[in-house]
Amino acid sequence: MHSHTPRPLWQLPLLVLALAALVFAALRLALRAAYPHYFADTHLLPALLTGARFDLKLAVIALAPCLLWWLVPTRRARVATAWLAFALLVVLLGLGIADLAYFGEVSRHIGSDLLNIGGDLGSIVGIALGSRVGYTLAALAAFAALACFWQRVVVRTARAPIKGSLKRQIPSAVVLLAGYVLLARGMVLTGKPLGSIDAFNGNGQSQANLSLNGILVTLQALNDRRQAAPLRYLDNATAQRIATQHPHPFRYQSSQPPSRKNVIILLLESWSYKYIDALSGKNYRATPYMDALIAKSQVWTNFYAAGQRSIIGIQASLTSVPALPNREPIGFGLELNNMSRIAELAQKQGYRTLMLQTSNRRSFHIDGVAKAIGFQEYYGKEDVPIIRAYPQDPPPFGWDYDSLMYFGKQISSKPEPFFAFFFSGTTHEPYARSGKEFDTRPHAETGENGFLNTLQYSDWSVAQFMQYAAQQPWHNNTIYIFMADHTRNEPIRSDSVREQYHIPLIVYHPQWQPEKHSELASQYDILPTLADWLGIQQPVYTFGRSLANRQTRASELPLMLNHGDDAYILSSNGIAPLVQGSLKTNAASFGEAKTLESNSAWQQDLQYEQWRIQTADQKLRHNQWAQ
């Protein structure tokens, strides 16, 4: 077809998108060929199919100026914008080849590391012409081949007149625009658009890395400039002194044999410690079932949430990777690091793994998070049949009772052993009206009264689930773990920080004796503790310690409590804000800090936790958290 032959309006944009997708697919094939050992267990076809969604998302976003201009049925500037698209694609291709070369350094796409290495242009040029000269030559050859093809095919298409009248092009332009939007969302119709977490399909991290588009990962990381600056709290001499004393601070190896015990974790939305009468000694009367169960359970009375967001509670409990200040949590990029994933570890020991959250499947990317952590089965609000009559439609975060009963039936549907995780939601604001029997206080969608009404309903729901479980053959071999994701959200004051992170940890096993434990603990301790209870046979990497090991329990760790871009340090000697670049504790804004500055035990706790946070940040940046 000659350049003067009229072409349909859609031909040029679809041709360019197809070429971009082919270029990115070629990079994916080159990545697999360059690192055969790392990708030995991956499946190419699923990676190409999943990867195409990331590739087309990147192409639409990066080439948007050209793609939008080509919706206009005019020949004006079409050739110029075609060459602009070529220039943009060359930049992306160059970045993709750099990502390909860098991948072997840390077994991860380059991401925000580009900001660190990009500051030394001389070194980059030296590497490009030295140890990476093969990649440089390949890049030049790819650029030349692409330019030749672009001139012969794309530019010729751009020069051609548009087929049909202006009026006849409007439907094509509308369809194209709708297609752009769909592709920019990663072909996701509703809910959150495609993200890195969606590369995980339960087949491990290497499969996810092959499916991902390294260029897109890098551009998204660069967009979050907060991750550029490393965390630094201590001078080099102090950090080195502490490192010498703790050569493997995050590695834990259980000495227990495989137990084949089942595990059920109920992560209870906003179940603050202070609202459970058997723990706080107050008289809210909202948790009668849990109050009774506590008398038969192992209870940790000084247990704290890792942060104030649900996703941080999930990350801390199931991976024990720290939620560092200024860093995105799992589901937003952290999952690309090597880490211990409890469901994956259990699966390797013959466990069936399943997770259910009462919210929509795609809420907060939890569907992808579940797969990234290793859950084989995942259920959400859309899967749960409503079996109880309610005075209102299902709330945004679902009904606990119906979800728990569905959860129990899914557990019972297949053989043991199993590792099951449930995340409740009815106690999330806005507080739903769950029934007259639970409206013991004037109900409102916000405020403490509405929360306590839904808490009473949630406690009743847990009771119904436990009654069902007690009748199942797996009950006597099951460890039940009850904890909150975080406390009920309230404004933090310096005199209430402990209360704002203080959550229950209640562990029940039908054959275990009840006991209360007063040592300081947090959600980061759950994974290493499970490693002992299940007898995980490989090392785990954790920001916590095992609560089932007498030796590790004897050495209490300070806690880091994430507060978005900031954090608090809590130890048995005190609590104060974490301040980067200084050993001072910001006494002016935190009442307790004034007395802590002269406390040597506190200063030792503070330095140790600052070192742990600083070291964890460094390891995560270099993908060395789990070595």
**What element of type H or E holds 567?**
strand 566-571
d(CA 180, CA 625): 38
DSSP one-letter string for 356-415? EESS-TTGGGHHHHHHHHT-SEEE-GGGPPP-S--SSSPPTT--HHHHHHHHHHHHHTSP
Q: Please, are residues 357 and 366 in contact by the beta-carbon 8 Å criterion?
A: yes
Residue 118 has pLDDT above 90, yes or no: no
Give the pLDDT of residue 219.
Answer: 86
Give the pLDDT of residue 148.
Answer: 92
Q: Please, are residues 234 and 604 in contact by the beta-carbon 8 Å criterion?
A: no
Q: What is the mean pLDDT of residues 540-553?
A: 92
d(CA 161, CA 368): 45
Residue 400 has pLDDT above 70, yes or no: yes
- SS3 per-residue string spanning 94-140: HHHHHHHHHHHHHCCCCCCHHHHHCCCHHHHHHHHCCCCHHHHHHHH
Sort residue 578 into left (φ over 0), alpha (ψ -120 to 50) or beta: beta
- SS3 per-residue string spanning 335-351: HHCCCCCHHHHHHHCCC
Return the percentage of the chain with pLDDT > 90, whole number: 70
3-state secondary structure of 311: helix
- Which range has highest mean pLDDT (224-228, 546-550, 619-623)? 546-550
CB atoms within 10 A of CB 606: 26
Residue 420: closest CA among 260, 524, 266, 299: 266
Q: Please, are residues 353 and 343 in contact by the beta-carbon 8 Å criterion?
A: yes
CB atoms within 10 A of CB 8: 13
Residue 120 has pLDDT above 50, yes or no: no
3-state secondary structure of 77: coil
Q: What is the mean pLDDT of residues 494-515?
A: 92
pLDDT tens for each residue of 431-470: 999 999 999 999 999 999 999 999 999 999 999 999 999 9
Q: In this structure, are strands 262-268 and 478-484 parallel, antiparallel, or unpaired?
A: parallel
DSSP one-letter string for 17-59? HHHHHHHHHHHHHHHHHH-TTTTTT--HHHHHHHHHHHHHHHH
Task: Tell me the pLDDT band of 517, cut-offs 50, 70 and 90.
Answer: very high
d(CA 96, CA 363): 31
Between 273-287, 290-304, 363-377, 571-585, the lowest mean confidence (pLDDT) is in 571-585
Between 165-174, 219-228, 396-405, 610-619, the lowest mean confidence (pLDDT) is in 219-228
For Cα atoms 593, 308, 191, give the angle at the middle one, nearest 5 degrees.
Answer: 155
d(CA 374, CA 371): 5
> DSSP state, 162?
B
Lookup: tokens for 225 = 């400039």
| Distance (Å) of CA 576 to CA 117, 220, 512 | 35, 33, 37
Lookup: tokens for 285 = 């009367």
Question: Residue 577, CB half-sphere, CA atoms under 13 Å: how many?
Answer: 22
- pTM for this structure? 0.85
DSSP one-letter string for 439-494? --S---SSSHHHHHHHHHHHHHHHHHHHHHHHTSTTGGGEEEEEEESSPPP----T
Q: What is the mean pLDDT of residues 494-499?
A: 80
Paired residues of 559 in beta bridges = 570
Give the pLDDT of residue 598.
Answer: 65
Give the pLDDT of residue 586.
Answer: 45
Based on the number of CB atoms within 10 Å of its own CB, is 106 exposed (0-12), middle (13-18) or buried (19 or more)? middle
